[in-house]
């Protein structure tokens, strides 16, 4: 008799931080570090999402071990981050199985994960966030774990720090927690998407190429060598967190935008202050910053805010009512729907994606 294949599928959204974390002192836990929190907006899955299917079966050869097919290509799962997720989820399943011996022993079977991102992977668009959130939830569903998003966020952040925020919708904070070892550091929702539903994100896919330095490696270098980074954790991030939570509470876009742009600038300043320096932004990224400044100057108020993660791609936040001014201007500046930029730049924008908070 053929052995049964157990299966679960899920999707997870991307989140783009408006106050960025920047400290991973314990690589295993992916913690944001002392006094350091972060805050993000979860984007609509209609636009950017990871789709992950997890299966396991006693018929899968043990010699092949656990496997991950990412965007159609075999992907290495031997890294500590992925292993930590598998180990924790298996331990949760094994606990259920020993409490109820009638349950099938899924925890002993090899896992096969198939995952697809419908947006560029490892290009600064938070694929690790959506990717590990989906991976953890797909396996938790497969194992029928009674885990809440908060509990799953504890596991997902071990895959990628930012993944713990993708388990929630709306406006999400990742807090340090109070345990000395940081073991209770997890994500929580600051406000539902419905609290401030008219935020929109325009994503300028400047480059779909994989970044030269992975987020984790880059951050470790920054923590080790940047003096400016110490200033950022001591003063800049706590101030930005407080201002950002207030802006969201009061639905104050001008304040939201200013903190978003200042925090992105501060983060990239610490990258430039890393030795040797890390440059995630390129000429097109800087042109996008100037375009936002022009849009705001022309409107006579703040209608757009830029932010860049560890990559050259820009995320522009704006309000639904200002779509014309923001998207219209970007299409114009970047040469219209053909997306051939009219700016004389080395590298062109390869695509525009639009999303809302969800
Ligand atoms: P990004 O800016 O896209 O988040 P990172 O360097 O932080 O880039 O992370 C990219 C890594 O995240 C990939 O190399 C891969 O290991 C992991 N990842 C991305 N998407 C997925 C996915 N769908 N499932 C599992 N892991 C993924
Ligand atoms: Co990432």
Ligand 1 pocket, 10 CB below 6 A? no
- Could you tell me if 177 and 47 are in contact, meaning their C-beta atoms sit under 8 angstroms apart? no
Say if CB 125 and CB 49 are below 8 A apart. no
Cβ neighbors of 146 (< 8 A, separation 6 or more) are: none
The complex's ipTM? 0.99
- Can you tell me which atom of ligand 1 is nearest the CA of 126? 4
Residue whose token pair is 């924790």: 88
Q: What is the pLDDT of residue 341?
A: 36
Distance 269 CA to ligand 1 centre (A): 24
Rounded Cα gap, residues 191 and 62, in angstroms: 44
pLDDT reported for residue 176: 73
Q: Is 115 in the pocket of ligand 1 (CB under 6 A)?
A: yes
Q: Is the dihedral of CA 16, 20, 22, 26 positive or negative?
A: negative
Which pLDDT score, from 0 to 100, does residue 48 have?
A: 86
**Before 276, cis peptide (omega within 30)?**
yes
pLDDT in tens, the chain (358 residues): 679 999 999 999 999 999 997 544 444 444 444 446 799 999 988 878 999 999 999 999 999 999 999 999 999 999 999 999 999 999 999 999 999 999 999 999 999 999 999 988 988 888 999 999 999 999 999 999 999 988 998 899 889 888 988 999 999 998 876 776 667 777 889 999 999 999 999 888 877 778 777 877 888 888 889 999 989 988 999 899 999 999 999 999 999 999 999 999 999 999 999 999 999 998 888 988 998 999 999 999 999 999 999 888 899 999 999 988 888 888 776 654 444 333 222 334 445 666 677 6
Q: Whose CA is nearest to atom 12 of ligand 1?
A: 128
Q: Considering only CA atoms, which residue is closest to atom 21 of ligand 1?
A: 131
Element at 241 (helix H, strand E)? helix 237-249
If one residue of 40, 73, 128, 208 were mutated to test the ligand 1 pocket, choosing by the most ligand atoms within 8 A of its CB, it would be 128
Q: How far apart are CA 357 and CA 199, in angstroms?
A: 6
For the chain, the residue count is 358
218 lines ligand 1 (CB under 6 A): no
Helix, strand or coil for residue 319? strand
Backbone conformation region of residue 251, classed left if phi is above 0, alpha if psi is from -120 to 50, else beta: left
Residue 84 near ligand 1, beta carbon < 6 Å: no
Residue 243: phi, psi to the nearest 5?
Answer: -65, -35
Neighbours of 170 (CB within 10 A): 21
Q: Is the CB of 285 under 6 A from ligand 1?
A: no
Q: Is residue 15 within 6 Å of ligand 1 at its C-beta?
A: no
Question: Does ligand 1 have an atom closer than 6 angstroms to the CB of 123?
Answer: yes
- Dihedral sign, Cα of residue 128, residue 131, residue 134, residue 140: negative
**Euclidean distance between CA atoms 225 and 239, whole angstroms:** 23
Residue for token digits 């500046």?
Answer: 333
Measured CA to CA, the distance from residue 21 to residue 153 in angstroms comes to: 16
Q: Whose CA is nearest to atom 5 of ligand 1?
A: 122
Rounded distance between C-alpha atoms, residue 53 and residue 121, angstroms: 17
Residue 316 has, within 13 A of its CA and on its CB side, a CA count of 33
Contact 119, 149 (CB under 8 A): no
Six-digit token string for 94: 């094994």
Q: Is the peptide bond before 154 cis (omega within 30 degrees of 0)?
A: no
């Amino acid at each position: 008799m053929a052995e049964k294949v157990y299966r679960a599928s899920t999707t997870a959204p991307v989140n783009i931080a408006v106050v960025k974390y920047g400290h991973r002192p314990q690589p295993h836990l992916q913690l944001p570090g002392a006094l350091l929190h972060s805050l993000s907006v979860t984007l609509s899955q209609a636009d950017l999402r990871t789709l992950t299917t997890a299966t396991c079966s006693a018929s899968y050869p043990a010699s092949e071990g656990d496997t991950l097919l990412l965007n159609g290509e075999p992907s290495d799962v031997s890294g500590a981050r992925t292993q930590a997720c598998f180990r924790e989820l298996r331990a949760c399943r094994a606990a259920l199985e020993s409490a109820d011996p009638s349950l099938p022993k899924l925890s002993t079977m090899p896992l096969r994960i198939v995952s697809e991102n419908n947006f560029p992977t490892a290009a600064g668009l938070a694929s690790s966030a959506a990717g590990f959130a989906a991976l953890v939830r797909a396996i938790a569903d497969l194992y029928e774990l009674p885990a809440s998003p908060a509990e799953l966020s504890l596991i997902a952040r071990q895959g990628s720090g930012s993944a713990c925020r993708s388990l929630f919708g709306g406006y999400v904070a990742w807090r340090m927690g109070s345990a000395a070892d940081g073991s209770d550091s997890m994500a929580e929702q600051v406000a539902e998407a419905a609290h401030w539903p008219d935020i929109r994100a325009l994503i300028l896919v400047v480059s779909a190429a994989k970044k030269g330095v992975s987020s984790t490696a880059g951050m470790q270098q920054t923590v080790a060598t940047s003096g400016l980074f110490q200033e950022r954790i001591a003063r800049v991030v706590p101030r930005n967190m407080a201002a950002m939570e207030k802006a969201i509470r009061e639905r104050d876009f001008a304040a939201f935008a200013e903190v978003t742009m200042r925090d992105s600038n501060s983060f990239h300043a610490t990258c430039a202050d890393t030795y040797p320096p890390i440059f995630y932004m390129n000429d097109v990224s800087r042109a996008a910053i100037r375009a936002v400044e022009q849009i705001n100057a022309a409107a006579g108020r703040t209608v757009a805010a830029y932010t860049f993660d560890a990559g050259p791609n820009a995320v522009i936040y704006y309000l639904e009512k200002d779509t014309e001014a923001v998207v219209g201007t970007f299409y114009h500046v970047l040469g219209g729907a053909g997306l051939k930029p009219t700016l004389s730049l080395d590298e062109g924008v390869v695509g525009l994606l639009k999303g809302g908070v969800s």
